[in-house]
Structure 1
Amino acid sequence: LKIEAEDQGTPKHSSETFVAINIEPDEAAVLPETEQTASVLPAVDDLQFSRRNYSASLSESVRPPHLLLVLPVLNKPSDKRFIICSIISGNKGGAFSILSGSDGNCELRTQMQLDRESTEHYHLNVSVKSEQELPDYATVEVTVLDANDNAPKFIYPNNGQLSNGYFAALAIGAPAHTHLVTVKAEDADAGNSSSVVYSLDPFSVDSKYFECGQSGEIFTKLSVVQMIEKSRKDSFEFRVSSSEKKLTTILRDVGPLRCRNIHLRSYKF
């Protein structure tokens, strides 16, 4: 990755550095060593899944417990109470459970609220067996679909001035339409739900001296001298809101809007 640090001065100054990230393989669970593995097909009349591989998808907004998938089982014994379905590996955080239904098929259900931003894909290794027979194995690929469940969050510069806001300074002679600062917020949702637009909080008294572009650029409406004359002060504080933009509609009612302070001070150099 190439990382760039940039200040908000005029002119802007920046520097770059590089970060190398090494991906190390995780310890994957290995299926038990038995005479019957995924690479050895069971006999035609043995207890077994109808397929080797299954797939399913589910929105992260669906609440548990939810029946996600039924895995048909072939050659069931007469007493279906002795059919045992299990998840061998891949069940991160215990998100799923699998049990034998009244018809002897394996029923895969969610056990917890899924979060796409945390885990988007699950690769489950499952097994089915009865008391008299060896287990059969299959894999289930689960894809978690995105729901618009995250509000934008501001990213603040680590400048030591404010831990939850932005700080900027203007020269006493700065003219109208001077760039003050660029705010930035990110939305963890996917697709159009991750698009963010910005606006000034109309209830902030000092916001009338500034204007905000939809991309987060803040400018002065007046010169600094005019601002001081009209307000009779040399420091200003106002709030900026970030909200989601989905297609052509700005969604201001999806989750709380994140509002943070911006401070402006005028200095004579």
Structure 2
Amino acid sequence: MPETAADGTWGGNPLVTAPLAGNVTAEPIPRTAFVADGRAPHLPDLSNAEIPAAVADLRPADFGRGVHAVTATPDGTVVTVETARFGTERFVVLPEDPGGGRPGRTEVSAGTGPHVIRLAPRLAPDVVARVLLHEISDTLQKRAAAEQGTMRRFLNALDPGYDACASARYNEHAYLSRRWRATTSDEERARLRHEIEAVARDLAARGQAAPPPPWITVPPQAPVLDVWERMRRLSNPSGWEPPDDEDETVPAPKDPAQRQMRNV
């Protein structure tokens, strides 16, 4: 966590002036692209020039509900997220070592100032968007938990398996699944499948059930009956269904005499 500089800025960065509410981190997933040192040796370190393209690869739906837009400044130094709950959230992006061999770490602002995302300089280019997604998702989750306060602690006591990082992993799963559906390359699909399966294993290790992968067709769910339809079916144990143009609840007899007897 940075110290307050002599000029009053936070960590000496003129864009960062607010105290912090804590940190969130992106933990690596071994033997996947989601690691801090996956960049090819011949490539220079990550720079802010790569951030706009990475942000352009993200969609609001990748963050789940409540995010309306995600944009980056042309120089890639600031990412802006428009949310339903918190309004505009700004993230300063620094290609600096997050520490601990992690792909990323974010210092969460306690006030209205920007959050600070530190991205590992040796991140592979095609994983930058995913790490940004993870860090922003984690930050929004931490903001929500801070607002809930005592209620969140109560829910944690009821559900000891609650894992704040799981929501970011779910968003990664959605992002990777969207990309899997969008590509027609067998090689790219195989690569993405490896990443999706690794995220699913990570969720399982956290005690969470992963969504179905995109290559599995989930059968449509049976329609949910309204209360009146359920009551009608329960009151009709014979299972006989009248034709749509019939109002009677039992078949009408063919013999008119029988019909008269029934109506007596």
TM tier, smaller: under 0.3
Relative to its length, the structure with more helix (as a share) is 2
Greater strand fraction, Structure 1 or Structure 2: 1
Q: TM-score, normalised by structure 2?
A: 0.21
**TM-score, normalized by length of structure 1?**
0.21
